[in-house]
Structure 1
Amino acid sequence: MKQVMNYDPQQLIAPNTMLFVRKSDEVNWKELNKIKHLLIVCDATEKLQNRAATSITIIYVRNILQAYFAFCTYYRNLFDLPVVAITGTCGKTTTKEILKHILSTDMNVQTSVSSKNEPRQSLPYLLGIDDNTKAAVFELGLGNTGNISYQCQVYQPTIGVITNIGVHHLDGCKNLEGYIKAKSEILDGIRAGGTLIINSDDENTKKIPLSTYPNKVFTFGIKNKADIYATAVQFAAKGMKFQVHINHKTYQAYIPGYGEHQVYNVLAVLAVIHELGLSVQKAILRLRTFEQMERHLQFSEGVGGSTIIDDTWTNNPTSLEAALKVLDSIGKGKKRYLVLGDIKRLGQFEKKYHMDLGSLVATYPIHTLITIGSKAEYIAKQAIEDGTTANVYMYKDTQGVYELLKQQLDRKSLLLIKGPMSSRAMIQFAEQLKRKES
């Protein structure tokens, strides 16, 4: 079989496909009859009785979900290789890409694509493993409770990584405690004898129930005791310099891309490298050639000769705090502009967390704060209430913002823009700022 998939009437089905059809699926038999060499796995006899005469091969099962995971387990067990599953509120895509960059030098690695980490992508990613694959690295997305459990049932990872746990997806997990519990699902998903890698400095990660976890735990950090840790962290030319300590050895390291959070990403990667039995020293050397991802605190020259920091890849409280630290560290002697869009998926707590961020912003020496969107207004209003010295502007959308900034931005200006990944308007606005128009 070339493909295995769940039924989706909007998706083209190729020849040589095994298709899992659920009771709730409305099947278009006319279209399916056109597919050559199609095998259907189904648990609804009445659905099969209504089909037209066809040459489609059909396997009837009592429980479609059990059959689905039985196939996943069968396929996964065909390959004896390390499988790394990475989750976390921030940094999981970058951590995955850094790890892929290092491993791909010497071996064929199957990975998830960009930040396309939805559970429905899991089986196609798993099927990308073949006899030439030596390792796999997958990113685990979390939108709702049960998502990570589902993905782990498909991937059956030998190593699990939690980069950090902040505040996100509270609409699907009800509250922060529910979100932490949903992230903790990875503990049951790691294969027996595997390893869980966690951030020893992250307060919410400390709340996951490790007392019942039977496998190995390996920690990374900067501030607290850890199995692998960094010291002498400092900003350097276009990146971060630091020392890595592991097994009583010290290494000098550098990673392109600004921010302490980038050092944490590297430590998580090196922890995986260590657990795979590979050379940490070689991995550190390869870090230098990693290309920073687009829209991840990406620096560009922009309007009026200003410096634009495009961080529109994602927007949540944890990533904003990290971005503010970068702005503060490199912004000395600059006029600092901050453009913030709405933070989504905070459920009933969206006002609270936007206001908390307003209080945080007020502690930084910002020249101009611009918020875009009705939710982001809470950031601006709270910053004003907390005594920010910034000039504050509130917009419903991006219309008119460029005209305001075009009059002010110059070579002494440093502008950070953050917005939700789903906002094409914010992404396009960031691109407009980077066109170097004067």
Structure 2
Amino acid sequence: MELTDFYRIFLQHPVVCTDTRKIKKNCIYFALKGSNFNGNAFAKDALQKGAAYAVIDEESHKISDKTILVDDVLKTLQELANYHRNQSKTKVVSLTGSNGKTTTKELIHKVLSKKYNTIATVGNLNNHIGVPLTLLTIKEDTEIGIIEMGANHQKEIEFLASIAEPDFGYITNFGKAHLEGFGGIDGVIKGKSELYDYLQANEKYVFLNADDPIQKERLSTYINKFGFSETDHEYYNIKFLGANPFVKFKFENEEVSTQLIGAYNFTNCAIAVLVGKYFNIPKTAIKDAIESYHPENNRSQLIEKNGHHIILDAYNANPTSMKAALDSFGEVESKSKVLFLGDMFELGETAAKEHQAIAHLAEEMEFNNTFLVGENFSKVASTFKKFKSFETLKAHLENDKLSPASILIKGSRGMALERILEYL
């Protein structure tokens, strides 16, 4: 079937599903494959549950004209998404970076939604499947789409940009994330900059943090850019006022008090202001949007429990975000500060060194009590309490209850340190 013919079917059934447990009536089911599953085997089930069509790439599962046989289901999904993106008049803003992508995306979405019909990546569906699925939610009246792009190796952002074809782009930062896949920090910079490469090659617009020396240097000669800075008056001025614990900042004499914890969230807020200004959102609406944003999903959440003031930042972690979280926690005013730090994943051969560096930084900051959790942290040279697994930490907490304190919980997603809350 030609892509144009398939697109006509999509327009009649513009809801896409990839999981038969979430089938919606009259949707199109795409039978994706994974290391532990084969979606083709569920095509019949999808149709029985109400899907209008099932897209498959194994002929043995073709049972009627409602099963559309293609060479590669994933490739077809990506091609359909790109075609749909190009048929729409929607402006696409793409984001990538080592840290802060999802929070930045949600802040920009809040701001732009004050004036425009806007869609954005749901959760962190930011890979070779999530980006196409988000693009396919663009409707005829969608004015702006905000597309988050994640990557853990070279050429991934380049590929995602070729699908989304963004009109605007922003890189949150270049940090020590996915070092194993990228091959070190230089590889991270090169990989994330693939978004810049696409935007510049196609003469599209770039948003930038002009106080980030890598971004500023990388875009020094590029004309189509709009940046913010605290000090450089060539760029739009946004001033950080502090974070104890919530971020406060100022732009155009508007003082903004956010519900976001940690100085590292300032630049996430600042870019939302900048994008709002570019798209002519009134400054009072920008202020209202950012002040009303409340973080969820274990991202810099402030939780009060049994006398504890808990900063839960357990969605993810890498050396850059870990250091930022520790620096910010160090500024919090409290008589008693307790740390729970979990392993940072995907660091490859640098894992031992990076975990030791974080442990050393925590020692220098002299918090009242520090708990290190995970295979890597359990091996560092430190006087801190070390636990090889969550189960051993759990046993300790059940027998030795903490007195009320300010607590930071930070670790990679795979550590699931939000489980600590149950034992505090």
Task: Give yes or no for TM over 0.5.
Answer: yes
SS at match of 1:164: coil
- Give 2:205's match in structure 1, choosing from 173, 195, 198: 195
Q: CA deviation at 1:427?
A: 2.0
TM-superposed deviation, 1:269 = 0.7
Whether the aligned pair in 1 keeps the contact of 2:31 and 2:42 (CA below 8 Å) is no
Q: Report which stretch shifted further, 30-39 or 279-288.
A: 30-39
* 1:288-308 residue CA offsets vs partner (Å, 9 max, x unmatched): 2222334222222334x2222
Q: Corresponding residue for 1:432?
A: 423
CA 26–344 in structure 1, closer or farther in 2 if over 3 Å, else same: closer
| 1:184 aligned partner | 193
Instruction: Report if the CA contact (8 A) 2:374-2:415 is conserved.
Output: no
Measure, in 1, the Cα distance between the counterparts of 2:70 and 2:342.
Answer: 50
How far apart are the structure 2 equivalents of 1:227 and 1:268? 12
414, 418, 432: which one aligns with 2:410: 418
Query: Identity across aligned pairs (percent)?
Result: 23
Name which of 355, 365, 390 aligns with 1:398: 390
In structure 1, what residue type is equivalent to 2:303? S
Output the aligned Cα RMSD: 3.6
Which of 318, 321, 324 is 2:320 aligned to?
318
Contact 2:20 2:46 in 1 (8 A): no
* 2:375 maps to 1:374: yes
Q: Which structure shows the bigger proportion of residues in helix conformation?
A: 2
Whole-angstrom distance in 1 between the partners of 2:173 and 2:209: 6
Letter of the 2:239 counterpart:
T
TM-score (norm 1): 0.79
List runs of 5+ in structure 1 lacking aligned partners. 385-390, 434-438
Specify which of 246, 263, 266 is matched with residue 239 of structure 1: 246
Provide closer, same or farther for how the CA distance between residues 225 and 313 of structure 1 changes in structure 2, counting only shifts above 3 A: farther
Cα displacement (A) at 1:89: 1.3
Contact 2:93–2:166 (8 Å) recurs in 1: yes
Alignment of 1:162-177 (within 5 A): 162-177=171-186
Alignment partner, residue 364 of structure 2: 363
Whether the 8 Å contact between 2:169 and 2:205 is mirrored in structure 1 is: yes
CA gap 1:320/1:7 in 2 versus in 1, 3 angstroms: closer
Taking the TM superposition and a 5 Å limit, the aligned residue runs for 1:186-265 are 186-190=195-199, 192-205=202-215, 209-210=218-219, 216-222=224-230, 227-231=235-239, 233-235=241-243, 239-244=246-251, 249-265=252-268
AA partner of residue 423 (structure 2): Q
Superposed displacement of residue 140, structure 1: 0.9
* Alignment partners' CA distance in 1, 2:387 and 2:346: 20
The answer as to 2:301 corresponding to 1:293 is no
Equivalent residue in structure 1 for 2:102, among 93, 102, 120: 93
Aligned partner letter, 2:285: K
CA separation in 2, counterparts of 1:393 and 1:18? 49
- The CA deviation string for residues 164-218 of structure 1, in whole angstroms up to 9 with x for no partner, is 11011122212211121110111233384432122233345457x446x856122
Residues 268/27 of structure 1: CA separation in 2 closer, same or farther (3 Å cut): closer
Going from structure 1 to structure 2, the CA distance change for 1:92 and 1:229 (only over 3 Å counts) comes to farther
Matches within 5 A, 1:12-161: 17=28, 28=40, 31=43, 35=47, 38=53, 54-55=64-65, 71-161=80-170
Q: CA contact under 8 A between 1:4 and 1:19: conserved in structure 2?
A: no
Q: Deviations over 1:389-408 (max 9, x none)?
A: xx611111133535655746
1:316 and 1:361 map into 2 onto residues whose CA distance is: 15
> Partners in 2 of 1:19 and 1:402 — Cα distance?
41
CA distance in 2, matches of 1:409, 1:33: 51
Deviation, 1:96, is 1.1
State how many pairs are aligned. Answer: 406
Change (3 A) 1:229 1:431: farther
Do 1:335 and 1:414's aligned partners in 2 also have CA atoms closer than 8 Å? yes
C-alpha distance in 2 between matches for 1:407 and 1:21: 47
Any conservation in 2 of the 1:233–1:260 contact (CA below 8 Å)? no
Following the alignment from structure 1 to structure 2, what is the Cα–Cα distance between the partners of residues 9 and 256? 37
Task: State the AA in 2 paired with 1:160.
Answer: G
The AA in structure 2 aligned to 1:202 is D
For residues 319 and 219 of structure 1, the distance between their equivalents in structure 2, rounded to whole angstroms, comes to 23
Distance 1:30 1:95 in 2: 36
* Equivalent residue number for residue 330 of structure 2: 328
Shift of the alpha carbon at 1:155? 1.7
Measured in 1, the distance between the counterparts of 2:80 and 2:30 equals 12
Alpha-carbon contact 1:86-1:160 (below 8 Å) kept? yes
Task: Compare 124-133 and 145-154 and name the one that shifted more.
Answer: 145-154
The DSSP-based 3-state class of the residue aligned with 1:361 is helix
Deviation of the 1:372 alpha carbon: 0.7
Q: How far did residue 110 of structure 1 move?
A: 1.0
TM-score normalised according to structure 2 size = 0.82
Distance 2:16 2:147 in 1: 18
The Cα of 1:7 is off from its aligned counterpart by 8.5
CA drift of 1:112 comes to: 0.8
Structure 2 portions without partners, runs of 5+? 1-9
SS class of match (1:219)? strand
SS in 1 for 2:264: helix
What secondary structure sits across from 1:119 in the alignment?
A: coil
Change (3 A) 1:11 1:345: farther
> Which residue in the other structure is 1:388 paired with?
none
Q: Distance in 1 between matches of 2:339 and 2:297?
A: 19
* Displacement of 1:364: 0.9
Structure 1 counterpart SS, 2:175: coil
